[in-house]
Amino acid sequence: MKTKYLAFLSFVVVVIMSGCASQPDYRQASNGGFGYTESKLSDTQYRVHFKARGTDKSKAMDYAMYRSAELTLLKGYDWFVVTDRETMVDKERVQASPQVGFGQRYATVTECGVITCRTTSHPTSQFESGIFVGGSQKSEIESILNIEMGKGTRPTSATSFDARELSSNLKPDTES
């Protein structure tokens, strides 16, 4: 009976892992997973999140910028200005043992404004299950941008971007 249960559990883990491996990096996130999400702050202001596996800050930032350009064009605007940006890296050591259950860890967030920075820490809960062979380290990175969109002549600030040009330059490979 135990052998059948372990074989079934192994099959389920392999199916889940193969499903995760076949998804492209750049995609819409679902249920707090990997990919992009956005929140409308006003008619012309949005907060864009991109969450990815690994520690490649430039890739996460590029995808957040690409989504910002894509969203700007979808809403009928020409350019956007990044009014605030934040990048978080979360690393966790995975031990060599089977695991099933809930875990809780603390996420530390640093938000910087024009004059000061504020650091907060809050608990996050998650459900985990799986069979791990050998120890490893898993990392997640999240890039968050607050943007303001506009039409016509683009501001000359270093944080303003032409949505069409940026979209063309940063278009991700969605087949990987």
Please tell me the pTM assigned to this model: 0.61
| 175 within a domain of the structure (yes/no) | no
The predicted pLDDT at position 70 comes to: 95
Residue type, 111: E
| 130 within a domain of the structure (yes/no) | yes
Give the domain extent around 28. 2-170
Give the residue from 87, 64, 97 showing the smallest Cα distance to 166.
Answer: 64
Query: 58-98: per-residue pLDDT in tens?
Result: 888 999 999 999 999 999 999 999 999 998 887 665 555 55
| 8 within a domain of the structure (yes/no) | yes
Average pLDDT over residues 131-155: 81
| 176 within a domain of the structure (yes/no) | no
If one counts the domains in the chain, the total is 1
DSSP 3-state percent helix, strand, coil across the chain (nearest 5) = 25, 45, 30
Query: 28-52: per-residue pLDDT in tens?
Result: 777 777 889 999 999 999 999 998 8
- Helical packing angle, 163-170 and 57-74, nearest 10°: 140
What token pair was written down for 70?
């894509």
